[in-house]
Amino acid sequence: MRADADVDADAASKSADAEAIPGSAPDSVRRALDAFRAGDPVCVHDFADREGETDIVYPAGAVDEAAVAHMRNDAGGLICVAVSDLVADAFELPFLADALDHPAVDDDPEYDDRSSFSLPVNHRETFTGITDEDRALTIVELANAAAAVGADPDAYGPEAFAADFRAPGHVHVLRGARDGLRGRTGHTELGLAMAEAVDAAPAAVVCEMLDDETGDALSPADAEAYARRRGIPYVEGAALVEALT
Torsions phi, psi of 121, nearest 5?
-135, 160
Q: Is 207 labeled as catalytic in the residue annotation?
A: no
Residue 70 amino acid letter: H
Q: How far apart are CA 132 and CA 89, in angstroms?
A: 28
Residue of 132, 208, 224, 236 marked active site: 208
Please, what is the angle between helix 26-37 and helix 187-197, to 10°?
70
Alpha-carbon Rg of the chain, whole angstroms? 19
* Gap between the Cα atoms of 24 and 113, Å rounded: 26
Distance CA 47, CA 187 (A): 10
Q: Which of 53, 55, 196, 224 is catalytic?
A: 55
**Separation CA 147–CA 184 (nearest Å):** 22
Which of 51, 58, 80, 226 is catalytic? The answer is 80
Taking a C-beta distance cutoff of 8 angstroms, is the pair 114, 95 a contact? yes
CA distance 14 to 189: 26
75 DSSP assignment: I
- Is 111 considered catalytic here? yes
Pick from 145, 98, 93: nearest CA to 124: 145
Q: Which of 51, 122, 172, 236 is catalytic?
A: 122
- The yes-or-no answer on residue 45 being catalytic is no
Catalytic residue among 40, 65, 170, 222: 170
Is 80 strand, coil or helix?
strand
Assess whether 73 carries a catalytic annotation: no
Among residues 111, 125, 179, 211, which one is catalytic?
111
144 catalytic per annotation:
no
Report d(CA 29, CA 237) in Å as an integer: 10
CB-CB contact of 176 with 192 (8 Å): yes
Active site residues: 55, 80, 111, 122, 170, 208
